[in-house]
Amino acid sequence: MNELDKQFEQLMKGVSIDSPSKGFSLKVMERIQAEAVVKKHSLLEDYKPVISRKVWIILILAFILLLVYITVSAPDTAQVEKPGLWSAIADSLPKLNTKGVSNIWQTATGLFTGIPPIAYMILTASLALWTLDLFLTRFRHSTSEIQVN
Amino acid sequence: MDKTDDIYYIEAVRKGDVSAFSILVERYQNMVYSLALKLLKNAEDAEEMAQDTFVKAYQKLETYEGKSKFSTWLYSITYNACISELRKRRIHFSSLEDQRFSDQDEMKMYDYFSETKKEDQERYLNLALGKLPEDDQVLVTLYYYESQSMDEISMITGLGVSNIKVKIHRARKRMYAILHEMLHEEIYSLL
């Protein structure tokens, strides 16, 4: 800055600058607070799936293995167990269907009745987690669209 | 980190303390508004633009790397927003014909002007500043009033440093010429 600039700077420093209306700061902060709410939602941007792909594969494999194990190792014991819903349906089927169809049905229902309740619980819980996972992922995408710039 | 530093409040906002942003608003509202007003020439538009600037700054705060001053970053948002608004309205900057005012004339004018009353000085300077083209008003305000360096002004406006240097030099001379004209008219009216 040369001498002329310094002189002029001195003059300009004496000028009072324009200022906005009184409630300006408050109005801005109201808008910022509203933006902050949108930003909070965007925290879901960092969302990672509840169950990773690896765990999903392990779960599916474990479930298949369980099914195979039950089918192979304990087909007879399933018949002995007290009749459940599947058995009741299976028992009523021979009266309605032909012999061949009823045999297939009996084999299938026998397989399901052989599955312990814990396996159903695992399946239900996994499906619930998968649904939640899907919902959160979709929600993440919808909030990212709200984000400005 | 000093509690008066901008970066202290920026970090606080980044950590989730939204109210810390109000300190930055309070600190820079006048300058942001003033720049917008100089470019848009309308108080309502300028206030709306200033609000938008702060909201945009809040939204983009994560992208502020601290390489430049926060004020420089903020003024660049203001300037660019105003320029794009003016482009939308297809308003072009007004221009003044180059008036010849030597360095010696400037010196004389400064000596004469500094002897006038402070209130009158402010009034004349504001009037003279208002007569400059919009972009020159911004440059003069940033350089002489806000003491932003040429490099910082270059970051704000996107103009080259040498271009800014020339523009500021011309703007200062123009202001002195306008002031001279004003004072001349005043003296004649008194006579």
Domain-located, residue B38: yes
Q: Which residue of A has its CA nearest to B140?
A: A12
Give the pLDDT confidence of A92-130 residue by residue, as tens digits. Answer: 655 555 566 667 777 777 767 767 777 778 788 888 888
Q: Count Cβ atoms within 10 A of the Cβ of residue B182 and give its class: 0-12 exposed, 13-18 middle, 19 or more buried.
A: middle
Residues B24-58: tens digit of each pLDDT: 999 999 999 999 998 888 899 999 999 999 999 99
Residue B152: which CATH number? 1.10.10.10
**Interchain pair A24, B33: CB under 8 A:** yes
Confidence check: pLDDT of B23 > 90:
yes
Cβ–Cβ of B125/A24 closer than 8 Å? no
Asked if residue B128 and residue B82 are part of one domain, the reply reads no
What is the share, in percent, of chain B residues with pLDDT greater than 90?
42
Residue B148 is assigned to a structural domain of this protein? yes
* Res. A149 pLDDT band, cuts 50 70 90: very low
What is the domain count for chain B?
2
Any domain includes B96: no
Contact (CB, 8 A) for A29 and B25 = yes
B57: containing domain? 6-89
Structure-model confidence comparison of residues A73 and A14, the more confident one: A14
CATH of the domain at B17: 1.10.1740.10
Residue B157 lies in a domain: yes
- Are residues B107 and B184 both part of a single domain? yes
Cα B32 → chain centroid: 8
The residue out of B41, B57, B89 marking a domain boundary is: B89
Rounded CA gap, A90 and A102, in Å? 8
CA distance A19 to B168: 24
Whether residues B145 and A15 touch (CB distance < 8 A) is answered with yes
In this prediction, residue B55 carries a pLDDT of 93
In a domain, B97, yes or no: no
More confident residue, B191 or B66: B66
The per-residue pLDDT for range A20-65, each reduced to its tens digit, is: 988 999 999 999 988 888 776 655 555 666 667 888 888 888 888 8
Which two tokens mark B23? 């300190």
Q: What is the mean pLDDT of chain A?
A: 73
DSSP A79-105: HHSPP-HHHHHHHHHHHHS-HHHHHHH
On whether residue B1 sits in a domain, the answer given is no
Look at residues B34, B54, B89 and tell me which one is the last residue of a structural domain: B89
Summarize pLDDT for B80-109 with one digit per residue, the tens: 999 888 887 765 555 555 556 778 888 888
The two structure tokens encoding residue B74: 């903020």
Three-class secondary structure of residue A1 per DSSP: coil
Mutate to test the interface with B, among A3, A16, A18 (most CBs of B within 10 A): A18
3-state secondary structure of B141: helix
Shared domain check, B116 and B64: no
Contact between residue A24 and residue B33 where contact means Cβ atoms under 8 Å apart: yes
Question: With 80 as the cut, is the pLDDT of residue B191 above it?
Answer: no
Q: Is residue B55 situated within a structural domain?
A: yes
Measured N-to-C along each axis, helices B103-114 and A3-13 cross at an angle, to the nearest 10 degrees, of: 30
B36 inside domain:
yes
Best of B23, B115, B144 to disrupt the A interface by mutation (most A CBs within 10 Å)? B144
Same structural domain, B177 and B151: yes
The ipTM is 0.72
- Rounded CA-CA distance B50/B137 in Å is 17
